[in-house]
Structures are given as structure tokens and as C-alpha cells.
Amino acid sequence: MKNIVVLTGAGISAESGLKTFRDSNGLWEGHDVMEVATPEGFQKNPELVLKFYNQRRRQLLTVEPNAAHKALAELETHFNVDIVTQNVDDLHERGGSSNVLHLHGELLKARSVNTENEIFDCRKDILLGDTCANGYQLRPHIVWFGEAVPLLENAIKITEKADCLIIIGTSMQVYPAASLIDFVSADTPIYFVDPKPAISSDERRNLTVISENAVIGVPTLVASLIDR
């Protein structure tokens, strides 16, 4: 076994104290998702959307990577490890992982509304009137609902070469990210770490479900893979 691919979702970040923002009623911080995470929402009320992501960015800068993030970095010292994350935080990078693909964008980056390729580092609030050099408003570098996922093809190529797939802290309900599990070969071992797993081990061949929080399940799994 040489190449390990790790798919991560909000559950791993939640254990660092980062809010997942989506409540059981589907609201994000009291807002309908259509208000704060769609191009239409931004067009209608850009100030509200910027404020929502400014709050998230401020919170991100107050939290630290947890034992699960650090265990994945340790895994990298023994295997080729690629992390494909739905998370927009930088906790994997701060935890020590070097190959991280952010499917849904990055909170600590901004981009011009005019072109998705004009991307800037951003650790402060983005305000209405903040523009790129060409005079276009800046927006969070986030893939909103209804927008294309530009790094999906890269994520598929990474997943296809997996000798082992680890899924952590995701419901496997958000597409297209959830479809990545279908790009590993039938005999690839899959480990699913989540306290409330959305799939069971009898649903797929070679699937091992670890019903634990990431901070417990991931270091244990990593230790067993290294020992092997």
C-alpha cells in the first residue's frame, strides 16, 4: 500500500471548536443557505454575505488543529497521502499536511467577482468596496451552491490512484464530493470514521466503519496503518 487518499468534511473541523454553521433545521447561523451561500444571495445582499464569511474567518483564526489533523500529518511520513477536503479552513495545513485539495474553496483567500482565477490571500474582513486592481469587488474564495466545482476533476484523478481511502467527518450527502467514493477500485480498502456514520460496513465490500469522533478514531486508525 503506497497511496492513501483522505476525504474530510465538517466533522473533523468541528472537533477543533469550529462551528459547522448548519443547524439541524438547515439554517446557517440563522440564515437560509440561499441567502449566504449562493451567487444569487451575494447579488441580492452582498453586505450580508461578506459579513457572514467575515465572522467565519475571524473564528477560524481563533482555533487550532486537533489530534486528527496531526495524525494525518504523521501518516504522511510513511505513505503518499493526499487530502481532499470539503472544508474551507486551513487546519489540515496547520496540522502539518502538505498535499491538501480544497474542493469548496478557502476561507483565507478572496477573489475578484470578475474572474475566479484572480485569487488573493486574505486574513481580514472583506468589505463592500474592497476591490481588485481592476476595480472589481472582492468576494470570498468559496464555491457556493449552484457554482461549478473547478477542482473536481483533480480530486477524481487523486481518488482513482488510491490504494486505501479514508473518509472522516462527512455525511457523504453533499454532491459532487460524495461521488468520489465511486472512483476507487472495488478492492480498495475504505475506512469511514464518524460518530454517526451515514453508511454501514455491509453496504460496500472492503468498508470498515469506525464509529468514533475524529480525534479518537483517526489517531487509532493511523497507528494501525503505520504498524502494518
Q: Which residues are catalytic?
A: 104
The DSSP bridge pattern shows strands 3-8 and 80-85 to be parallel
- Look at residues 135, 112, 144, 133 and name the one whose alpha carbon lies nearest to residue 42: 144
Cβ neighbours for 18, distance < 8 A, ≥ 6 positions apart: 59, 60, 63, 89, 91
DSSP assignments along 195-208, one per residue: SS-SS-TTSSTTEE
Number of H helices, E strands in the chain: 8, 9
